[in-house]
Structure 1
Amino acid sequence: MELLQRALLTAFSTLTLFYVVVKLSLGYWKRRGILHAKPKFLWGNLKGVVGGKRHVQEALQTIYDTHKGQAPFVGCYALLKPFVMVLDLELVHNILVSDAGYFTSRGLYHNIQNEPLSGNLLQLDGHKWRTLHAKSVGVFTSSNLQKLMPRLLEVSKILGNRIGDQKLQKLNVSQLVDGYNVEVIAALAFGFKGDQAEFREMSRSYWNNFSLWRAYLALELPLLARLLQHTSYDELAANYFYNLVHAQLYQQRLRDRQPLQNFLQLYSAPDDALSDAQIAAQAFGFILAGLEPLNATLGFCLYELALQPELQDRARNEIHEVLQQYGGQLTADSLKQLKYTKQVLNGKYCNSLQDFKQFISFFIVETLRLHTPYPFLLRRATKEFELPKSVFVIARGNNLIIPVAAIHRDPSIYTDPLRFDPDRFEAAAVKSRPAMSFLPFGQGLRGCIAMQLAEQQLMVGLVALLQHHKYSPCADTQIPLQYDNRKLLLMPKVDILLSVECVDI
C-alpha cells in the first residue's frame, strides 16, 4: 500500500511539474507584455501541424492575417518554443539587411564532430559560419557560373531527350524534374558523371531517420543533443556523400590544369582552400537546401502553365524565335537574348550572363511567389535589438520567423494573390510594391548565397522543358493542387502528372 502511495505521489508530482513547465513556457509573451497569438496547451500555435492535419504555412498564414497591422511583430509558439513573427516589412528590412548584424544566426542544429555534413552554410552559425561564408562568396561569382554554364546546358539536353518525341503521353513531371536537378547537382556540386542510380537513391533517403520530436529537442537542447551524439541524417546516405566527395577530390588532384567543371574545384582552389570535410559539407548543402525547392518550383511552374496554355504558348514562341538564330540550340549566347522568358526585376534587360542575377523567368518568379518553397525564414537575435522609433525590444536569444509565403499572398501587396499571373513582375508592377515583398531566396547576409545558380538552373531547365513539348492536365492531374502537410517545405502532396505532347513550331 505504501509503495502504491509513493508511486501515485511521484506520478502526481511529475505531472504537476510538467504542467507548470508548460504553462511557464507558454506564458513568455504574456509576461513580457507583448501582443501574441493565444497558444493551445502543449501545441502552442501549431495544433494540427504535428499530426499532419494542416501545413505549417496554414498556421503561419492565420497568425499573419489576424495580427498584421496591429504591431511590428507578434509573439507565437512552435509547441513550447516562443517565436517572434515579423509582420512589418520595414522591420523585415531591418532584420535581413540594415541591421543584419544583430540577426546572423538561424539557430539550426549542427554537430560537426559526429556529423561532418552538418558543417554547411545553411546550418552553421557564429564564427564558423562567418569564416565559411567569407570563403564561399568568391565561389558563387557570375564569372564562375558563366564558366560552368556549358556543363549545365549539357545536362539540360538530357532532360529534353528523356521526355522523348511521342505525340501524346502521360508523364510524371515530379520525377522528370527530380532527375534533372539530381543530375545537375551530381555534375556541378560533386563533379560526378558516372551511374547516378545510387546517387539519386541517396539523395532521396538522407532523411530516413528524421523524427520531428528529436529534431525539436535538438533545437531546444543542442548541448544535450551533442552530448547524446544526435544525428540529423541517415548514416548510410551521409557516409555515401562524404566518401564520394573524398573520392572525387582524390581523382581531381590526379589531373592537372583541368578546365573548371564543378564546385569542388572552386572550393579546393589553393587560395584559402577548405578542408576536404568542409568541402563535403558544402556539396551536401546543394542537396539539403536546393534539391526539393528546385523540384517543387519547376513542377509547380509546369502545372500552372498547363492550366493556362496561352501563357505557355507565349513563352514557347519566344524560345523558338530566339533559338532559330542559334541553329535551334540552347547556348549561353541564346539564353542571353530571351526577352519575355527572362525578365529583369529592376526594369532593365540584361546584356550579359554576368548580370544573370538581375533576371529570372516571369513564370519562375510567379511560381516562387505563389508556391514559395521555403514558406518562412528563421533568424535568432544575437544581441538585444530596439526597434527604431518604437518601445519594442527583441531580446537577445529570441527566435524570429519571417512568414515569407504569407507576405507573398498578402492581398494588400498582390491583388488576387492566389491567382497565377506572371505579369505581376512587369517592371512597373515590381517598382510599385514595397521592398521586402518578395523573398524566395531571403536577403542580406544570410540570404541564399547560391541564388544566382538556382535561378540559372531553373531558367535552363524551364527552357529545355518548353522548347519541344506542350503540357496540359490529364485525368490524373490533381486539381486543385494540394500541399504535403507532413513536410516543412511547400511540396505537392502527390506527384504532378500531366499530358505531354511533342510539338514543333
Structure 2
Amino acid sequence: MELLHRALLSALGALSVFYALVKVSLGYWKRRGILHEKPKFFWGNIKGVANGKQHVQEALQDIYTAYKGRGAPFVGFYAWLKPFVLVLDLKLVHQILFTDAGHFTSRGLYNNASEEPLSGNLLQLDGHKWRTLHAKCAEVFTPSNVQKLLPTLAQISKKIQSHLGKEILQTRNISDLVNVYNKDVMASMVFGLGHGQDNQEFAKWTRSYWGDFKLWQAYLALEFPLIARLLQYRSYARPATAYFEKLVLSQLQEQRRRDRQPLQTLLQLYSNADQPLGDVQIAAQAFGSLLAGFVPLNVTLGFCLYELALQPDIQDRARAEIRKTLQQHGGHLTPEGLRELTYTKQVLNETLRLHTPHPFLLRRATKDFELPRSVFVIARGNNVLIPTAAIHRDPEIYENPERFDPDRFAESAKQPRPPAAFLPFGEGLRGCIAARFAEQQLLVGLVALLQHHRFAPCAETAIPMEYDKKRLLLMPKTDIRLSVELVK
C-alpha cells in the first residue's frame, strides 16, 4: 500500500511539473506583451494540423487573415510548445529577407554532420559553417553555369513525349508523369547517373529516404539539438544516406577519369569550382537538392497542368507561344528562346503563387532586431515564420486570389506590387541558391509537355483540388489524373 501511495505521489508530481512547464512555455508571448492567438494546452495553435483536420497552410492563413491590419507587424504563434513570430507586414518581410537579413541568417533546423554527413547541406546548416559553404556553392549556380546545363536538360525532357507515346487520346496519371521527368533530371544532373544506367534503386530511395520518420522525434531534435546529437538521432534512413553518399563518391571518381567530358552535371560544377568542396560535402549538397527540390518541382508541374486543363484558353495561348518560339529557333530550346517564353513563365509563376509548395519560410533571429520607428522587438533566438502561401492569397495584394490568372505576372501588373509579395523560392541570403536551375527545369518540362499534347479534365479528375492535410508541403490529396490528347 505504501509503495502504491509513493507511486501515485510520484506520478502526481511528474504531472504537476509537466503542467507547469507547458503553462510557462505557452505563456511566452503573454509575458512579452505581444499580440497572439490564444494557444490550446500542449497543442499551441496547431491542434487541427496535428490531428490531420487542417493543413498547416490553412492554420497560418487563418491567423494571418484574423490579425493582419490590427496594427502589429507580427503576431505570436505556437507550434506545440514552441513560440514563433508570424510576420504579417510585407515591409517587415522585406527587412528580414533583404535590408536586415544579417539578423536572420539562421533557420534553426537540426543537423548532425559528424554522424550524418549528408545533413551538412546548405538547407540545414547555420552559422559559420553555412556562410563558408554558401560562399563556395554560390559560384556553382551562376546564370552562365545554369545556361550551360540547358542542352542536357532539354535532352532529358524529350523522354516525356516518348512516355506519352503516339496515342491520340488517353487518360494519364499526371503526378507519375512529372515524377518520371524530375526524377530523371535529379538522377542525371544532380547525382551524375548516366542516361543508360539503371536508376531503379535511385527511384526507390527518393521515395523512402525518410525511413521510419516520427514527427515527435523530429520536433524534440529541433527543440533539444544537443541532446539529439548526444543520442545520435538521425533524420534520415541510414541505408538511404549510405546509398546517396556512395553514389556521388563513385560518380565523382568516374568523372575524374574522364576529365575532358562535356559539362552535363552539377557534380562537375562543384568539383571544378575555384573553391571546390570535399567529395562528402558535394554529396551533402546533392542530397540537399533532393530534400528541397524534388517534391516541390513535382507538385508544381502537376498543379500547373491541372490548372491549364481547367482553362483551355490559357493552355492554348501558352502552347502557341511555345511552338512559335521553337520554330524561330530551329526546333531547339536555346537560352534566347527560353527568355522569349514570357507568357509560359507567367503560367508557372501563377501556379507557384496559387499552389505554393512551401507554405512558409523559416528564419531564426541571431541577434535582437528592433523594428525601425516601432516599439516591437524580435528577440535573439526567436523563430520567425513568413507565411508565403497566405501572402500569395492575400486579396489586398492579388485581386480575387483563388482565380488562376497568369496575367498577374505581366510586367505592368507586377510593378505596383511590393517586392516581397511573391516568394516561391524564398529570397535574400537564405533564399534557394538553385532557384534559377529550378525555374529552368520547370520551364523546359512544361515546354515538352505542352508542345504536342493537350490536357483536359476527365472522369477521374478531382475537382475542386484538395490538399493532403498530413503533409507539410502543399500536395494534392490524390494523384492528378487528366485526359491527354495528341495534337499536331
TM-score bracket, shorter-length normalisation: over 0.9
Distance 2:334 2:273 in 1: 31
Q: CA deviation at 1:310?
A: 0.7
Q: Runs (4+) of structure 1 moved beyond 6 Å?
A: none
Give the residue type in structure 2 aligned to 1:463: V
The residue correspondences of 1:56-71 to structure 2 (distance < 5 A) are 56-70=56-70, 71=72
Alpha-carbon deviation of 1:332? 4.0
Distance, in Å, in 2 between the alignment partners of 1:90 and 1:333 is 35
Contact between 1:323 and 1:330, CA under 8 Å: does it hold in 2?
yes
Residue by residue over 1:352-406, the C-alpha shift from the partner in whole angstroms, topping out at 9 and shown as x without a partner, is xxxxxxxxx1111000000000000000000011000001111110000000000
- Name 1:77's counterpart in structure 2: 78
Q: Distance in 2 between matches of 1:270 and 1:432?
A: 39
Write the distance in 2 (CA, Å) between the matches of 1:339 and 1:32: 48
The residue correspondences of 1:307-326 to structure 2 (distance < 5 A) are: 307-326=310-329
SS in 2 for 1:471: strand
User: Offset at 1:329?
Assistant: 3.7
Q: Which amino acid aligns with 1:460?
A: V
Secondary structure of 1:340's counterpart equals: helix
Kindly provide the amino acid, as one letter, of the partner of residue 177 in structure 2: L
Q: Is the 8 A contact 1:44 1:79 kept in 2?
A: yes
Flag the 1:337–1:433 CA change in 2: closer, same or farther, 3 A: closer
- Whether 2:469 is the aligned partner of 1:485: answer yes
Deviation, 1:327, is 4.0
Superposition pairs for residues 444-463 of structure 1, below 5 Å?
444-463=428-447
Paired position in structure 1 for 2:455: 471
- 3-state secondary structure, aligned to 2:50: coil
Q: Does 1:288 align with 2:272?
A: no
The answer to whether the aligner puts 1:17 opposite 2:17 as a matched pair is yes
Looking at structure 2, the residues matched to 384 and 325 of structure 1 have their Cα atoms a distance apart, in angstroms, of 55
Give me the whole-angstrom Cα distance separating, in 1, the residues matched to 2:187 and 2:130.
Answer: 24
1:425 is aligned to 2:428:
no
Q: Any residues of structure 2 matched to 1:67-146 within 5 Å, and which?
A: 67-70=67-70, 71-146=72-147
Q: Is the 8 A contact 2:139 2:273 kept in 1?
A: no
1:51 alignment counterpart = 51
What SS does structure 1 have at the residue aligned with 2:206?
Answer: helix
Identity of aligned residues (%): 66
SS in structure 2 at match of 1:75: strand
* Rounded Cα–Cα distance in structure 2 between residues aligned with 1:399 and 1:339: 37
Q: Is the Cα contact below 8 Å between 1:373 and 1:491 reproduced in 2?
A: yes
333 and 424 in structure 1: CA distance in 2 versus 1, 3 angstrom threshold: closer
Name the structure 2 match of 1:5: 5
Task: Write the distance in 2 (CA, Å) between the matches of 1:167 and 1:140.
Answer: 40
Amino acid at match of 2:6: R
Contact 1:363 / 1:422 at 8 angstroms: preserved in 2? yes
Structure 1: which amino acid aligns with 2:423?
L
**What is the aligned residue count?**
485
Corresponding residue for residue 175 of structure 1? 176
For normalisation by structure 1, the TM-score amounts to: 0.95
Q: How many angstroms apart in 1 are the aligned matches of 2:284 and 2:376?
A: 39
Report the 3-state secondary structure (helix = DSSP H, G, I; strand = E; otherwise coil) of the residue aligned with 1:77: strand
Partner of 2:392: 408
One of 379, 385, 388 as aligned partner of 2:369:
385
**What amino acid does structure 2 have at the position aligned with 1:476?**
E
Alpha-carbon distance between aligned partners in 2 of 1:385 and 1:200, rounded to the nearest angstrom: 44
How far residue 253 of structure 1 moved from its aligned partner, in angstroms, is 1.3
Q: Is the 8 A contact 2:29 2:36 kept in 1?
A: yes
Q: Please give the alpha-carbon distance, in whole angstroms, between the structure 2 residues aligned to 1:442 and 1:279.
A: 23
- Where does residue 354 of structure 2 map in the other structure? 370
Do 2:343 and 2:406's aligned partners in 1 also have CA atoms closer than 8 Å? no
* Residues 295-349 of structure 1: CA deviation (Å, up to 9, x unaligned): 01000000000000011011111212222234434344533433432xxxxxxxx
Q: What is the TM-score when the length of structure 2 is the normalising length?
A: 0.98
Structure 1 equivalent of residue 159 of structure 2: 158
1:436 alignment partner, SS class: helix
Gaps of 5+ in 1: 342-360
1:27 maps to 27
**Aligned-partner residue type, residue 428 of structure 2:** G
**Is 1:153–1:331's contact at 8 Å kept on the other side of the alignment?**
no
What residue number does 1:352 align with? Answer: none
Shift of residue 235, structure 1, vs aligned partner: 1.3
| Cα-Cα RMSD | 1.0
